[in-house]
Amino acid sequence: MASRAANKRLTREYKTISENPPPYIVAHPSESNILEWHYILTGPPDTPYHNGQYWGTLIFPPNYPFAPPAIRMHTPSGRFQPSTRLCLSISDFHPKSFNPAWEVSTILIGLLSFMTSEEMTTGSVGATEAERKWAAARSRWWNSTGGGSFSDGKTKQKGNIKAGDGGAKFRAEWPELDKENWKYMKDNRIDTVTGNTIQDPSTSGPNCGPTIGGLRRPSGSQAVVGAVVEGGRAVGEEGRSWIRRNKLLVIGGVIFTYVLIARLLGDGTGSSN
């Protein structure tokens, strides 16, 4: 339960962030618990996250603002492990470095800034730019379907946030955004189970792989959006180079070339005698 000071402070901050939200950021406390905040970061232009819809939570301690919140991002992004506590100077990993003057908006601006950097920390992952763009294109689908686990709209689960809840928690906290997401999926012919674009049978041409919003999943990469992501790593490491992936072929080629040259040189020496 929030202390009187925490309740007063968070109530004031909600009013502030609602009236003057920072760019690419919206946030609100849960109706049932003022210490549980939900945020949406919209991927800024000129980043791999452009137009992505990234949903996460801030869980504040009862003695806030004298201690920082736990920070999680639930939407797979290619930048953070979904639903995993992030180790940042503004998070509960570093309570001694937290400044009580920092507010919710300060915390979320710092999170967005860190997200668009390449700095690594506990809870962050490595991914290629193409993988992050692919995840951004699927973010609305993931949020509203629970990673494809949505079935009949009757899912009631509102506990731990994971892909298998059918999007129930997101729907409860962001009803208007959820409606927009379903319209987006309908308008863009997105399969609600797979997140892939449904091919128009009237169009010609082969279908070479899963696509969404004109973006095909990078060849050879792991799926950034998984079925169950609680505590899991949803993004593969950066792609290996061709040489590393085909090192046996390269070594064999070098040996063959060496033997061939040696034999040619030997034949030339023998004919001169």
Task: Give me the half-sphere count of Cα atoms (radius 13 Å) on the Cβ side of residue 198.
Answer: 10
Owner of token pair 């070098």: 254
Q: Cα separations (Å) of 221 from 131, 134, 195, 217?
A: 8, 11, 16, 8
Residue 232 has a pLDDT of 34
Instruction: Indicate the DSSP class of residue 234.
Output: -
Residue 75 CB partners (closer than 8 Å, separation 6+):
52, 53, 54, 55, 56, 82, 139, 142, 143
pLDDT value at residue 84: 96
> How confident is the prediction along the chain (273 residues), in pLDDT tens digits per residue?
889 999 999 999 999 999 999 999 999 999 999 999 999 999 999 999 999 999 999 999 999 999 999 999 999 999 999 999 999 999 999 999 999 999 999 999 999 999 999 999 999 999 999 999 999 999 999 999 999 998 755 554 444 576 788 999 999 999 999 999 999 999 999 999 999 999 876 655 554 444 343 334 665 555 454 433 333 333 333 334 445 555 566 566 667 676 666 676 666 555 444
Indicate the CATH number for domain 1-238: 3.10.110.10
What is the predicted pLDDT for the residue at 43? 98
Helix (H, G, I), strand (E, B), or coil: what is residue 82?
coil
Q: Catalytic residue, from 70, 87, 198, 215: name it.
A: 87
pLDDT at 208: 46
Q: What is the per-residue pLDDT for 200?
A: 72
pLDDT given at position 72 = 97
- Every domain of the chain and the residues it spans: 1-238, 242-272
pLDDT in the model for residue 1: 86
Task: Respond yes or no: is residue 208 known to be catalytic.
Answer: no
